[in-house]
Structure 1
Amino acid sequence: MLQGMGDSHEFVPATAEQVATIRSQLGTDEEDIRQAVASLRAWLTMQPHLPDHIDDARIERMYIDCKCSRERVKLALDAYFSLRNKFPEILTNRDPVGPEVSYTMQHLKLVTMPRLTKDLQRVHIMAGVDPDPSAISCVKYAKVLMMQLDMMYLDDCSLGDVVICDLNGVTLGHLLRIDINVVRAVEFCYKTVNRRRMKEIHLLNVDKVTDFVMKIAKTALSEKLLKRIRLHLPGSNTLFDHVQREDVPDELGGTAGPIDTFAYEFIRRAEKLRDWFLEQDKYTSDESKRPADNHYADSIFGVAGSFRKLTVD
């Protein structure tokens, strides 16, 4: 589907011209991608602990997200199957019509905007937090977020992500319910499996909770991500120094349209993939068969895996 066609809220994959530009910027082309996918497919079939159950299109998008490094894709492929054992709370039992997805969409807007920005980046938005802090469920929210990221492998090609978090209505009570380990798990999955390039994180309406938000961020996020956080005060238009209004929903000062239309579009797309999501639980690594000299194990399993509740002083 070409940009500008279809309903304004429908997800629009990159055009052929945009894909060509993205490939060019990353120094790859059709033949290089074909050879890389074939090589990576051959490698995957030789791994006794991993299922050979992933289509070529997903491997190609991993290759793009990994900046065309085959070695990085091998780690991402290993982690793609292995982390389902490590973080089952957010990476398994993902039913688009199940109660966890329904609950999340009732209490939070998690949105992937339908069109690439002029810089060929994908905008993701978290907004509409339930005013009742007791409604917060980090594990449920994380599961839906990881579903959205998995769907990016289906048809997205971009040069990176821009995340916008609207903290309007967020209080200290909300922040005290954030599970730091869940945030860490999401970041770990993002950088190990998805390997997408996080360009910027914009926090809107941070005035009254700025200090505590940054304390959580410093506890949960890597130094690299911390440097990409931008803070925007209530009533300011500084977000639009970085992101065009046409790429932002109306409620956040943009002109793209109502945020609900984009949230419902995600549900519609996910429901079409329900059988695929439910089937994925069958495809996990068999750690009893992992070769002793496998050098990816430490990278994947060398971080804390439990979702213990942590407190921020």
Structure 2
Amino acid sequence: MKVNTAKAAILGIQDIHINAATSSRQSMAEQHDPPSVSPAAKHSWFPTPPPPIYSCTLTPELEAKAREELQEKPEWRLRDVQALRDMILKEQPNLHTRLDDAFLLRFLRARKFDYDRALQLLLNYHAGRRAWPEVFQDLKPSTVKHVLDLGFLTVLPRPDPNGRYILCLRPGKWKPNDYPFVDNVRAIYLTLEKLIQPEETQVNGIVILADYTGVGMSQASNPGPFLAKKVVSILQDGFPIRIKAVNIINEPRIFKGIFAIIKPFLKEKMAERYVLHGSDLRSLHRNLPASVLPEEYGGTAGRLDMGAWSRLLLDCEEEFVVEFCQPDPLEGAMLPDSELYEGEQAGGSVEDTFRSLRSQLYYCY
């Protein structure tokens, strides 16, 4: 009887968290759009997220892929979500995080349904917001409109043959005198948040296409290794997304120096996923077929449209306000020690490394 009473109490707390999160999102949406139409529904090329009350949207083929690659068993899916939810409520009762099925599934899938690793990823996800307030404070699309208008990033409308959406980055469009580098990070993070919503992306992952045309010494040396380490830490260990490949094209000689700064922070598996193509489009097409690429990269999918993704993000403004413009979710939470976001105390040793690498940048340049 005591076990049943305790379980009922946990489930009651869980319902409070879920209902509060759902009602706040619904009330925010109702102020701006008809309840039956979500902002993303205006952009038919991008899949919509699962409904508020979770119902699997995966095709049988994707369910089979998730079973094989992620150890996801459809018959155990909601049981696994409940197990993770129970761990959060027991070990981090003061963590004000979403507890709905769709949200927690992102973390389970990203860590192949290992409960402990999924919980650590969730904690890292929230810890990143506290460790980097200049990125996460007031994070919403309207605050990075200048980045989107400049054409720094977009998402191509057609996924590759493996169902992976392609995040296209153009670092050469950014000039350090225009705005701080962290604005680029903010735009990337908002993009990843939108990309991870559909279950297709959670299973298939994404591909990055980075065009380094126009990148010079000012862009290469501006972020520095401390900032680079934070970006890499978030992408590798603080966000529930699977980056399956990073294709670099039109990289200048200076890229050797840029990669020398980034590589020490990359896990071996991630470092192996970087592919440098130079100006050889045939090499690029062996990794990303011409049928999904715009004409600018030798593809047959029309001209590169930088506006479609920008419009989609801006139309989801209120969604991000609810998600990010709220009180600190870690207020009162006790987090385990982690070197993932170790703060400024690491800056000294990292900057020493940067001094030794700066000469490489100038040599390559």
TM-score, shorter chain, exceeding 0.5? yes
The Cα offsets for residues 234-290 of structure 1, whole Å up to 9 and x where unpaired, read as: 244201111112222221222233322xx3232233223322322323253436441
Query: Where in structure 2 are the equivalents of 1:69-148 lying within 5 Å?
Result: 69-98=114-143, 101-127=144-170, 129-130=172-173, 132=175, 134-135=177-178, 137-148=180-191
Between the two proteins, the alignment pairs up a number of residues equal to: 300
Q: Report the RMSD for the aligned CA atoms in angstroms.
A: 3.0
In the alignment, what sits opposite 2:277?
A: 232
Equivalent-residue separation in structure 1 for 2:196 and 2:175 (angstroms): 34
Distance apart, 1:140 and its partner CA: 0.3
Q: Find out whether 1:217 has 2:262 as its counterpart.
A: yes
Greater displacement, 195-204 / 29-38: 195-204
TM-score by length of 2: 0.72
Q: How does 1:1-313 map to 2 (within 5 A)?
A: 10-12=45-47, 16-25=59-68, 26-46=70-90, 47-98=92-143, 101-127=144-170, 129-130=172-173, 132=175, 134-135=177-178, 137-155=180-198, 156-218=201-263, 221-260=266-305, 263-279=306-322, 280-286=324-330, 288-290=332-334, 296-302=336-342, 304=344, 311=354, 312-313=357-358
- Give the structure with the larger helix fraction: 2
CA–CA separation in structure 1 for the residues paired with 2:154 and 2:124: 25
Output the amino acid matched with 2:190: M
Q: What is the DSSP-based 3-state SS (H/G/I as helix, E as strand, rest coil) of the residue aligned with 1:124?
A: strand
TM-score by length of 1: 0.82
Is the CA contact 2:248–2:275 (under 8 Å) kept in the aligned structure 1? yes
Larger Rg: 2
Measure the CA separation in 2 of the matches of 1:88 and 1:76. Answer: 19
Amino-acid identity (%)? 19
Q: Counterpart of 1:84 in structure 2: which amino acid?
A: R
Is the contact made by 1:107 and 1:130 (CA closer than 8 Å) also made in structure 2? yes
Aligned to 1:3: none
Paired with 1:22 and 1:67, the residues of 2 have a C-alpha distance of 12
Q: Find the residue that maps to 1:37 and give its secondary structure.
A: helix
Compared CA separation, residues 109 and 305, structure 1 to 2 (3 A):
farther
**How far has the Cα of 1:35 moved from its partner?**
0.7
Structure 2: runs of 5+ lacking an equivalent = 1-40, 49-56, 359-365
Aligned partners of 2:297 and 2:97: how far apart in 1?
43
Counterpart CA distance in 2 for 1:269 and 1:205 is 28
Contact kept in structure 1, 2:171 and 2:210, CA below 8 Å: no
CA gap of 1:299–1:252, structure 2 versus 1, over 3 A, is same
1:131, 1:90 → 2: CA distance? 17
Q: Which runs of 5+ in 1 are unaligned?
A: 1-5
